[in-house]
Amino acid sequence: MARVGVFTCFCGANIADFIDVPQVVEATKKIKGVKVSAEYKYMCSDPGQQMIRDAIIQNRLTSVVVAACSPRMHEKTFRKALSDAGLNPYMLEVANIREHSSWVHQKDKKAATEKASDLIRMAVAKSIANEQLHEISVPVTKRALVIGGGIAGIQAALDIADARIPVTLIERSPSIGGRMAQLDETFPTLDCSQCILTPKMVDVASHPYIELIPYSEVIELDGYVGNYKAKIRKKASYVNFSTCTGCGACTQKCPVKVSNEFNMGIDKRKAIYTPFPQAVPNKPVIDAEHCTMLLKGKCGICAKVCEKGSIDFKMVDEVIEREVGAVVVATGYDLWDPKPYEEYGVGRYKDIITSLEFERMVSASGPTNGLPLRPSDGKVPKNVVFIKCIGSRDEAKGIEYCSKICCMYTAKHAILLHHKVHDSHAYIFYMDIRAAGKGYEEFVKRAQVETAATYLRGRVSKIYKKGDKLIVRGEDAQLGQVVEVVADLVVLATAVIPYKENPPLARLLGISYDKYGYMSEAHPKLRPVETAKAGIFLAGCTQAPKDIPDTVAQASACAAKVCGLFSGDTMKKDPMISTINTENCTGCQNCVTVCPYQAIVTEEIPLGHGSKEMRIVAKINEGVCQGCGSCVAICRSMSINLAGFTDPQIINEIVSI
């Protein structure tokens, strides 16, 4: 005989303002099987939970229904309350009357109240069919896979490895370092990016617990939390890294010159190259798209000059496997292509560049030895116009969101310009200055006062050429006037967009991504580094645009999560998995075909008690089953059930409405 307790939450005013809670409580009392029906202001608070615990003990409840917020929010909290009172935690059902009723039917209290009563009735009916379940222990592979070797991946890898957990760090380009390696100085302190990054890169390469696999990408991820199996493709570098000393003779002699992506195409690199002088590992790779030896079979100069004989033109891609328990995704960002800004003459005028191009030019190790130069004639610019929000906050041409970092780096660029060219003047067109962060507002003030940059609030409508100058026509909204600035160089602060390969990678990993292509976190506020898939975490701009301090903080948070996951030798797993009734199983093996995890195998059991003849039945591998329920719906003999979502539970819900 079921004895159900129903506890309805006011959620402050969130539920109580839009649902007549006392009426719901009264209606609930009439439901068959309900022993207790109570209400409280905040069920999730300690007194609320105490109320549940007391009621379970006093009324010997067999199952509990909490009518409150989404089960995705507090299911765990209430399960704990149940188990504290000695009831199996899986005897809990949550009726979602906040997200599914009070918040979405705010104009119709009667309908919302009725719906809430219905949802509770469904949950009561389901809870009556609930079964006692127990958590499963599964072994954990204590190795983490970090995808991406930018500052996010580097920080996460170092923090995890410092806890003596082995890490495999993979990076798609020949060197780790990522976008941060391209920066000259960093806001708001103006410390040199390379100076703070390269020691960390060296640490990664020399750390005993880090396995660095550059020039590689993940192509497959199987398994589940604690027991993933990753397939990694090591792209052919045509250079044997184990014998190469990184002397650089090959890169000097290579006759093929191609646009240098590290310097944003401002200068040229060779077909055999290291991306930048401080690269880790500091070994060259051959760009197969441009090497004439690989394309036409002619040249081979690099092989001739290499004293170690490290060049191997016959090298092919290699696929390796790693067993890992957790994955950190840190793929980083790309920059938006400003081509749609045709009225600015993007693409027509050479002296319009992007911020990252400017950044490379002012970098001491950059293509112009640290001096900003006009691409058209190589002269040093005096008047430089910076335009912010190119693509950001622009629904018509770009993207809706704010890229977060442009206000700050544009202020930095104004200061750097002044440092490099003392008699120059910076004009900055902006929509708003968003400088929330420690020392950020002060930094912008520094650009405005010390550097005397002219901040003009307004959008630029047009840029046109006059002689060798560019005339930037815009609006100064504070004066209410149209202004024209004669510029030698125009720098566009282009929007941050997600790394272009994010969606295919997300699909491969089985995690979700938003409409822009950023990977989705499990909860925007409370679980910002986890994904909906257990054991996969997000760091840096793979989740949303971020500056370096935020990225590092998130990467360290990932590391803490990974270390927490690996704190024991086994891991508790949700018991909501499929079970097979071998009595009924006909051995058709439909379930084996549909299982996405290959969690179902077959076994032979005696045909009858003591019989020598055998028959085939399905068998679930508890550790592998993730509880999707595909097999349950396909089973013709109804021999499979999914714990927590059994047929009787769901049918009870349906018929109770």
Phi, psi of 245 (to 5 degrees): -100, -5
* HEC secondary structure over 301-348: HHHHHCCCCCECCCCCCEEEEEEECEEEECCCEEECCCCCCHHHCECC
Please list the residues that pair with 121 across neighbouring strands. none
Parallel/antiparallel/unpaired status of strands 34-40 and 4-9: parallel
- CB of residue 25 to another protein, shortest distance in Å: 19
Determine if 623 is a binding residue for another protein (CB under 8 A).
Answer: no
Mapped onto helix, strand or coil, the DSSP state of residue 482 is strand
- CB of residue 559 to another protein, shortest distance in Å: 25
- Quick note: the x/- pattern for another protein over 9-48, rule CB under 8 A, is ----------------------------------------
Site for another protein in 500-519 (CB under 8 A): 506-507, 510, 512, 514-515
Distance of alpha carbon 406 from alpha carbon 392, whole angstroms: 9
Determine if 597 is a binding residue for another protein (CB under 8 A).
Answer: yes
Region of 134-142, 407-415, 417-425, 647-655 interacting with another protein (CB under 8 A) = 647-655
Determine if 98 is a binding residue for another protein (CB under 8 A).
Answer: yes
For 184, 211, 588, the CA distances from 593, given in Å and listed in that order, are 55, 36, 10
Distance of alpha carbon 351 from alpha carbon 377, whole angstroms: 9
- Quick note: the x/- pattern for another protein over 524-563, rule CB under 8 A, is --------xx------------------------------
Residue type at 492 in one-letter notation? L
Determine if 579 is a binding residue for another protein (CB under 8 A).
Answer: no
Q: Which is nearer to another protein, 97 or 415 (CB)?
A: 97
Determine if 306 is a binding residue for another protein (CB under 8 A).
Answer: no
Count of beta carbons in the 10 Å neighbourhood of residue 56: 23
Parallel/antiparallel/unpaired status of strands 216-224 and 227-234: antiparallel
Give the DSSP H or E segment for 537: strand 536-538
Residue of 515, 518, 487, 520 whose CA lies nearest to 501: 518
Q: Which is nearer to another protein, 354 or 626 (CB)?
A: 626
Sorted by sequence, the CB contacts under 8 Å of residue 206 that are 6+ apart come out as none
Distance of alpha carbon 590 from alpha carbon 188, whole angstroms: 61
> Of these, 45, 58, 59, 70, which contacts another protein (CB under 8 A)?
70
Q: Which is nearer to another protein, 364 or 651 (CB)?
A: 651
Determine if 107 is a binding residue for another protein (CB under 8 A).
Answer: yes
Six-digit token pair at 547? Answer: 């500056």
Determine if 622 is a binding residue for another protein (CB under 8 A).
Answer: no
Mapped onto helix, strand or coil, the DSSP state of residue 114 is helix
- CB of residue 657 to another protein, shortest distance in Å: 5
> Of these, 471, 576, 605, 616, which contacts another protein (CB under 8 A)?
576
Residue of 333, 285, 354, 326 whose CA lies nearest to 501: 333
Q: Which is nearer to another protein, 399 or 559 (CB)?
A: 399
Distance of alpha carbon 278 from alpha carbon 177, whole angstroms: 9
- CB of residue 69 to another protein, shortest distance in Å: 9
Query: Among positive and negative, which fits the CA dihedral 555, 558, 564, 567?
Result: negative
- CB of residue 129 to another protein, shortest distance in Å: 13
- CB of residue 172 to another protein, shortest distance in Å: 22
Determine if 112 is a binding residue for another protein (CB under 8 A).
Answer: yes
Determine if 106 is a binding residue for another protein (CB under 8 A).
Answer: yes
Residue type at 299 in one-letter notation? C
> Of these, 42, 103, 209, 464, which contacts another protein (CB under 8 A)?
103
> Of these, 17, 26, 54, 108, which contacts another protein (CB under 8 A)?
108
Site for another protein in 115-144 (CB under 8 A): 115, 118-119, 122
* 438 CB-side CA count, 13 A: 4
Determine if 633 is a binding residue for another protein (CB under 8 A).
Answer: yes
Determine if 101 is a binding residue for another protein (CB under 8 A).
Answer: yes
Determine if 605 is a binding residue for another protein (CB under 8 A).
Answer: no
Mapped onto helix, strand or coil, the DSSP state of residue 530 is strand
Q: Using CB under 8 A as the criterion, which residues of the chain lie in contact with another protein when the complex forms?
A: 70-73, 96, 98-101, 103-108, 111-112, 114-115, 118-119, 122, 506-507, 510, 512, 514-515, 520, 532-533, 576, 594, 596-597, 626-630, 632-634, 642, 645, 647, 650-651, 653-655, 657
